[in-house]
A = this chain, B = another copy of it.
């Protein structure tokens, strides 16, 4: 491309899978993306655009007219089309919608009425539904007659006359069942129904838990309105499970294609919060300035107490946040889990306290100082364990996201308690016995 060999570039790119072409766009520098798009021409089709990273897609779509975007969207299933249009500015959205055929527009507008990240946005409206009175042979004939061969489907939904789902048939059963059997006799009656307003994270958990390939989406009246397939969910599972690590440090959505300034805005907010909590610790240290002046070793040792406590708190917090996110931690086992964390914290606390006591005593030649730091360490690790499990649980109870805010609170607690316990205990014992 740099040599402007458009022919060559197109020949190289065309045979690739749409997902690979989309990756290629993310890998080249922003300035090259327009050239690349020109070079590969119609190899940049609807399937590729659907696979592009959100930020990269913004760049690519900015170069296209509303009509071209509308053209792309008619070739996609509703869920992919909605994923593209929902990120646009309101006025661009309007333009693209106006350029769509009325039927497609109605589908997409309907999807956009559902909240973001809900099942209604994820589902596609293209699906196969049959009444339970049909025989297998009739279902096969029906599928052959009505289905667009380009739409992949894995299960057929059986509905009652009010279009409420009553069962599902996997395609493999259609093939292995004699044609005269009635649908009602082979369909699986237990199925996971996804309410149209269910959050996508919960949808992903349902798919994972019940090993679903596709699931029926129903409206408030229990009527079948769409289907979610596992390939759309895989992406969400990956994203939701991976985003905890980003949220905990306040790194936003952590996309390396996000513009620098938008990343700066997200991250700096968190760093400023961290600065504010740091002032709490600094104030606590300030309370004990007389002791520090009398024995400077206290200033060197206290960050160790705070830091090990912070690490212990973060371990417990990471475990709690994951257990909450995967629905493993519920009211039934909350008390048991807290008690488990206390025992782990006691074991860790005793180990670290013993090490610290020995090290400090040996280095400073003062066993009282060793004892003081050991006590502070033990208590801070136990407090860290409690904070690590209680903070996310409390946030969850108040319907806040435990991954987002937990880390600030836990670090604030372990830092300030670490300094307070060690410096306070040292002052209480009397600095004159420690140096």
Task: Give residues in A with beta carbon < 8 Å to B.
Answer: 17, 19, 23, 26-29, 53, 140, 143-144, 147, 149, 151-154, 170-177, 190, 204, 207-213, 230-231, 233-235, 237-239, 241-242, 244-246, 248-251, 254, 256, 260-261, 263-264, 267-268, 270-272, 274-275, 278-279, 281-283, 285-286, 289, 292-293, 296-297, 299-301, 303-304, 306-308, 311-312, 314-319, 321-323, 325-330, 332-333, 336-337, 340, 343-344, 347-348, 351-352, 355-356, 359, 381, 411, 415, 419
Interface SS of chain A: helix, strand, loop or mixed?
Answer: helix
Residues of B near A190 (CB, < 8 A) are 17
Q: Is the CB of A270 within 8 A of B234?
A: no
Residues of B near A17 (CB, < 8 A) are 190, 210
16 A–B pairs (Cβ distance < 8 Å), ordered by A: A17-B190, A149-B172, A171-B171, A213-B230, A237-B238, A238-B326, A241-B241, A267-B312, A267-B344, A271-B311, A271-B352, A274-B308, A282-B300, A286-B300, A293-B293, A303-B306
Contact partner of A176 among B27, B149, B301, CB < 8 A? B149
Copies of this chain present in the complex amount to 2
Q: Is the CB of A325 within 8 A of B242?
A: yes
Residues of B near A249 (CB, < 8 A) are 311, 314-315, 317-318
Look across to chain B and name the residue whose beta carbon is closest to the beta carbon of A254.
B319
Q: Which 8 A-B pairs have the closest CB atoms?
A: A211-B231, A241-B241, A278-B304, A299-B299, A171-B171, A241-B242, A245-B245, A285-B300
Q: Is the CB of A152 within 8 A of B176?
A: no
Look across to chain B and name the residue whose beta carbon is closest to the beta carbon of A320.
B256
For residue A289, give the distance in angstroms from its CB to the closest CB of chain B.
4
